[in-house]
Structure 1
Amino acid sequence: MDQKDENLEIAKGIYWVGAVDWNLRDFHGYATPRGGTYNAYLIIDEKITLIDTVKAEFASEMIERIRRIVNPSKIDYVISNHVEMDHSSGLPALMELAKDATVFCTKHGKAGLNEYYESGGCSNWNFEVVKTGDELNIGSRNMMFIETPMLHWPDSMQTYLKEDKILFSNDAFGQHLATSTRFEDEVEGGAMEDAAIYYANILMPFGSKVIKYAEKVTELGLEFDMIAPSHGVIWREDPSRIIDAYLKWAQKEVVPKVLIIYDTMWNSTEIMAKEILEGVREGGVEARLFHLRKNDWSMMVKELMYSPVIAIGSPTMHGTMFYTVSGFLTYMRGLRPKDKSAVVFGSYGWGGGAVKGIEEILEKARFDIVEPGLQAKYRPYEDDLRACRELGIRLAELALKKSSYLRPAR
């Protein structure tokens, strides 16, 4: 471990004691090509307090970081903001050393921890259940708890250190990003793009909860000098930037853009996709083309967050859509994008089926199917290509109209 990282003091008496997962490449289906972190924070005061732990395989690393600051057995309080195992599975190892520590969590958090770690000794832990507005004095500092149910689990909460104006935000405002620095302003190019990918693939289904959360923060009159999430780097330079970004994403602010997502067997569907793209370009709107076997689905979802219109293409195989198209639609449906318009296209040989099947899924996901699917038999010829280009022009017009309609007034 790097000496600077071992005892990283992010504010007076407050230390980062987490772990960097340089080799993380997949987070329950979400591609993480830039790695990730599991952040835990140690506060030295009259009552020594640890906020969150790390994934189990990194528990010894976290404990060693703590040990270089204080004997882990002297920890008085452990705050568990979220029971998902990337945050909590290091807790049993920590509690073996901090046997007298009290664990603070929500009602759902206590239930979840007991479910996960029944065999890990949690029956012997001292639990304290908290709710929004409850405070904990640790000496010269006071901590306030904020329940954030379904951001993104029922048990989720955040912890606000009042005197230092630091929000320990758990999964909100994070990024999957491995770096040797701990602060966003020290990352070349910043981390906003990584935060957008993170939001789109984890928090997009909960946009209404994000808006209610922002209202609650305003009601509580909280101010932030620093936002310290459980993944990625810490926001300390104008941390309100990331809150403002979350509100924009939650309010479904979009730009004029059309996504064209497809897979292909013998290039017929790909030819159609590229011709649709040319039509969109001719219509004066940005188009993005994604081959499903050559691009990360999680990056496509981030683009979808900004795009009001999507075209999905597939060849017909065994009377239905190509397997990658089916998989992507399943992944996308789970994230529940809203206010999206769509059109379907594809190619077939002696019998179709892909276009109809995709349309049925999109309708169930509450996409607005703007016109009947476009199909080419065997391969697209001149009339098919003309139809694809004209479709692209219409999609560009729709994207311009929807972005004007959906974008909040400034």
Structure 2
Amino acid sequence: MHLKIKNNINWVGIKDWELQKFHGNEYSINHGSTYNSYLVKEEKIVLIDTVWKPFAKDFVKNLEKEIDLDKIDYIIANHAEIDHSGALPELMAKIPNTPIYCTKNGIKSLKGHYHEDWDFHPVKTGDVLDIGNGKQLVFVEMRMLHWPDSMAVYLTGDNVLFSNDAFGQHYATSAMFNDLVDQAELFQECIKYYANILTPFNTFALKKINEILAMNLPIDVIAPSHGVIWRDNPTQIVLKYLEWSKDYQENQITLLYDTMWEGTRIMADKIAEGIKKADGSVKLVLLNSSKGDKNDIITEIFKSKAILVGSPTINKGILSSIAEIIEIIKGLNFISKKVATFGCYGWSGESVQVLNSSFDQTNFTRVSEGLKILWNPDTDAIKKCIQFGEEFVKLIKT
């Protein structure tokens, strides 16, 4: 099926309603996703990106219903990752001499994935491809958003920015436009996408967005590679990216824990009680890392100005679900956030020390030595937890 985006621009992608995991098992999907491919029909006919490899045959079959494949003049590969380029081998088997425009790094990546020497044409920021009827494609490198090969392409005349992974979200819907979907769902998927995928590249994002804005391009539509297409006030998502890229935080504290026999959970509840006692205005989110979705947890951490992390001691270490979240945090390189740790123990009690050492390897600012409680918290220990929560509120203000 196709969907008209504007004038001679059609969406010819795939909706993946059943998708549950992405990037292997690293990203959870709550509302399916789309692999957005666009067909531009001017004097020259241009295909912008393809779809994920499992859908390659269906994609090519559907595309053949839209156009004689031999009439495609140019293919634009904004990004070589498999969810964007996966149908290229199937397509190029039918039209092997069609030129492919991508960055120099894109050529390396595509050759690395598919071991084919297609007719590649490297482009860089500012390069232009004339497609007739007074319209041009202007290329903009988007290095590290979120791969070295990434780029976007802008269509003059129609004022459409094909932004690839930037400004997208994993969100499948029958209505493909931003003004036709649930706004709370949409922006939750947008911030989840940014927090879990783009956070490590904040500096690149800020620089590139400012560079695009400085070009003073009129933008009527932003057409990303995943999720809905921004046609109503499209630059609202650009402004959100600017906000999120600047060490983003809300008035929120996230309290993350795992527990074996409820002791650490009780600590978490009582620390939370102390926090609310000290600051009734702060949004407080409590999450059990063994039961919550890791990407949703990361999204809440991204929103937070400070977090508390708790684990009981096991084998002189910490529980695996907490260890996994910390490992993700290290990779995402969160900036300007504060942390304290806690946990209960029965034998040796190393968990708080392990947690502290782990966070000392991140960019979090640790504000205390943490709190550890022997066995299940008794009345005195509960008081200490409440006081710890109150003190934490004071410490993160300094």
Which letter does structure 1 place at the counterpart of 2:217?
A: L
- Alignment of 1:238 with 2:241, yes or no, is no
User: How many Å separate the matches in 1 of 2:66 and 2:195?
Assistant: 37
Using the alignment, how far apart are the partners of 1:42 and 1:65 within structure 2? Answer: 12
Counterpart amino acid of residue 297 in structure 1? K
Quote the residue 1:407 is aligned against: none
1:30 alignment partner AA: Y
Structure 1: distance between partners of 2:286 and 2:363: 23
Q: What does residue range 86-235 of structure 1 map to in structure 2 within 5 Å?
A: 86-118=83-115, 122-123=116-117, 125-140=118-133, 141-189=135-183, 191-235=186-230
The answer as to 2:337 corresponding to 1:340 is: yes
* 2-structure distance, mates of 1:12, 1:139: 14
For residues 62-90 of structure 1, give each alpha carbon's deviation from its aligned partner in whole angstroms, at most 9, with x where no partner exists: 22332222112221111000111111111
How far did residue 390 of structure 1 move?
1.6
Q: What SS does structure 1 have at the residue aligned with 2:312?
A: strand
CA distance in structure 2 between the partners assigned to 1:274 and 1:46 by the alignment: 65
Whether the 8 Å contact between 1:258 and 1:396 is mirrored in structure 2 is no
**Alignment match, 1:406:** none
Deviation at 1:367, TM superposition (A): 1.3
* 1:55 matched residue in structure 2: 52
Distance 2:303 2:174 in 1: 30
- Find runs of 4+ consecutive structure 1 residues off by over 4 angstroms: none
| Equivalent position to 1:372, from 369, 372, 397 | 369
- Pick aligned residue for 2:63 from 59, 62, 66: 66
- Is 1:313 the counterpart of 2:310 in the alignment? yes
Write the letter of the residue equivalent to 1:183: F
Partner letter of residue 128 of structure 2? Answer: E
Count of aligned pairs: 392
TM, length-normalised to structure 1: 0.93
User: How do 1:78-89 residues align onto structure 2 when only pairs under 5 Å count?
Assistant: 78-89=75-86
2:378 maps to what in 1? 381
Give the conservation status (yes or no) of the 8 Å contact 1:201–1:301. yes
Q: Structure 1: 5+ residue runs without aligned partners?
A: 1-5, 403-410
TM superposition shift of 1:252: 2.0
Q: What percentage of residue pairs aligned between the two structures are identical?
A: 40
Cα distance in 1 for residues equivalent to 2:248 and 2:144:
21
Please say if residues 79 and 104 of structure 1, whose CA atoms lie closer than 8 Å, have aligned partners that are also in contact.
yes
Structure 2 CA distance for aligned equivalents of residues 243 and 390 of structure 1 = 42
Q: Secondary structure at the match of 1:317?
A: coil
Q: Distance in 2 between matches of 1:214 and 1:66?
A: 32
State the alpha-carbon separation in 2 of the partners of residues 38 and 65 from structure 1. 14
Q: Is the 8 A contact 1:76 1:98 kept in 2?
A: no
Check 1:398–1:254 CA distance in 2 against 1; reply closer, same or farther (3 A cut). Answer: farther
Secondary structure of residue in 1 paired with 2:93: helix
Offset of residue 391 of structure 1: 1.8
Q: Distance in 2 between matches of 1:274 and 1:218?
A: 46
Q: What's the CA shift for 1:170? A: 0.4
Residues 2, 13 of structure 2: 8 Å contact kept: no
Deviations 1:95-128 (A, max 9, x none): 112222100000100011111111xxx22x1110
Asked if structure 2 preserves the Cα contact closer than 8 Å seen for 1:38 and 1:230, the reply is yes
Q: Which residue of 2 aligns with 1:39?
A: 36
Q: Which residue of 2 aligns with 1:392?
A: 389
What amino acid is aligned across from residue 357 of structure 2 in structure 1? E
Kindly state the Cα deviation for residue 323 of structure 1 after the two structures are TM-superposed.
1.0
Contact in 1 for aligned 2:270/2:386 (Cα 8 Å): yes
Partner Cα distance (1:56, 1:244) in 2: 33
Q: Give the drift of 1:398.
A: 4.8
Cα RMSD, aligned residues only: 1.3
Is 1:302 the equivalent of 2:311?
no
- Does the 8 A contact of 1:257 with 1:396 survive in 2? no
